[in-house]
A = this chain, B = another copy of it.
Amino acid sequence: MTDELAADAAPAPRGGRLSRRALFGGAAASAGVVAGVAAGVTVVQAGHAGAATADRIVDFRGTRQAGIVTPVQDRLHFASFDVITDSRTELVNLLKRWTAAAERMTRGQETVDGGATGHGRYLPPPDTGEALGLSPSSLTLTIGFGPSLFGPTPAAPGRKDRFGLAKHRPEALTELPAFAKDALETSRSDGDLCIQACADDPQVAVHAIRNLARMGFGVVSVRWSQLGFGRTSSTSRSQQTPRNMFGFKDGTANLTAEQADLLDRWVWVAPEDNPAEAQWLTGGSYLVARRIRMDIEPWDRAALSEQEAIIGRSKGDGAPLGKDKEFDKPDFVVTSSGSPVIPKTAHVRLAHPDNLGGVQILRRGYNFTDGSDGFGHLDAGLFFLAYCRNAQNQFVPMQRALATKDAMMEYITHTGSALYACPPGLGADDWWGQRLFEA
Contacts and interface: CB of A to CB of B under 8 A. Distances in A.
Contacts of A21: 316
B17 A316 contact: yes
Contacts of A203: 229-230, 242-243, 367
A314 B372 CA distance: 37
A199 to B, nearest CB: 11
Contact of A314 (B11, B117, B206, B227): B117
Interface in A327-374: 327-328, 367, 369-372, 374
B315 A125 contact: yes
Interface string A1-44: 10100110111000111100100000000000000000000000
Which of A217, A227, A246, A367 has most B Cβ within 10 Å? A227
Interface in A234-268: 237-238, 240-248
B123 A303 contact: yes
A75 B202 CA distance: 9
A6 B327 contact: yes
A124 interface: yes
A246 B214 CA distance: 13
A122 to B, nearest CB: 5
B213 A378 contact: yes
Interface string A120-144: 1111110111111100000000000
A422 B156 CA distance: 56
Contact of A302 (B124, B202, B305, B370): B124
Number of copies: 2
Contacts of A223: 372, 376
A296 interface: yes
A306 B17 CA distance: 19
A77 interface: yes
A117 B304 contact: yes
Contacts of A380: 206, 210
B121 A378 contact: no
Nearest to A118: B316
A222 B187 contact: no
B117 A316 contact: yes
Contact of A116 (B125, B206, B224, B315): B315
12 contacts: A3-B326, A6-B237, A6-B326, A21-B316, A75-B202, A116-B315, A125-B315, A128-B247, A203-B367, A210-B380, A214-B297, A222-B378
